[in-house]
Amino acid sequence: MYKNMALLIACIVAVVSLTFYFDHQKSPQQRIEQQENLARDYGQVVPDVPIYTLDNKTRHLREFAGKPIILHFWATYCPPCLAELKSLFALADNTANDLAVIAISVDTDVQTVDSFLKKIWSESLPENVIVAIDPGKDISVGVFQTIKLPETIIIDSQLVMRDKIAGAYPDWTDAAMRGKLDTYISGAG
């Protein structure tokens, strides 16, 4: 039992260390430049990137035009992602016809992601939730310059980037977030 506990602790330390290492590979100047580049994208139409779903289908962002999109980047090894995914799925469940939630994992293994989802959400996922995988980080880092997980991009119904939230948002169903999203759902944002 102690061996298992020691192994678990060693794995946790390794994951935290690797996360810290990869998060700090870029110089502060590179991080500033990356944020400045992304800031120029606010108010611009997002690229129509291919999204690779867990059931081996290719979708595109343009398919979701006409309703706001919550584009969420996460990973199974990210503790804050767990609570946030549950909150996002609850939001999607309450807004089935109004918006799309695209949850893109940067994990490399579809089975790991699928097993993780079954543990955190016992019901079938809401119809307006698409779960995808980005193992090479081509979309998360390459297109949207995701710096740390979780990270969320809010896209309006015209496929224009409106907001980027770095880190976990505590409750996607709270009044403040619903008010913000309602402006995009109504087309006023």
pLDDT score recorded for residue 147 = 83
138, 144 contact by CB (below 8 A): no
pLDDT digits (tens, 9 = 90+) for 121-156: 877 888 899 999 999 999 999 999 888 899 999 999
In the structure, what pLDDT confidence band is assigned to residue 25 with cuts at 50, 70 and 90? low
Question: Could you give the angle at the alpha carbon of 143 between the alpha carbons of 149 and 47, nearest 5°?
Answer: 125
Look-up of token digits 């979701």: 64
Q: Which two tokens stand for residue 165?
A: 């939230």
According to DSSP, residue 53 is labeled B
pLDDT digits (tens, 9 = 90+) for 34-81: 444 544 467 889 999 999 999 899 999 999 999 999 999 999 999 998
* Distance (Å, whole) CA 135 – CA 122: 25
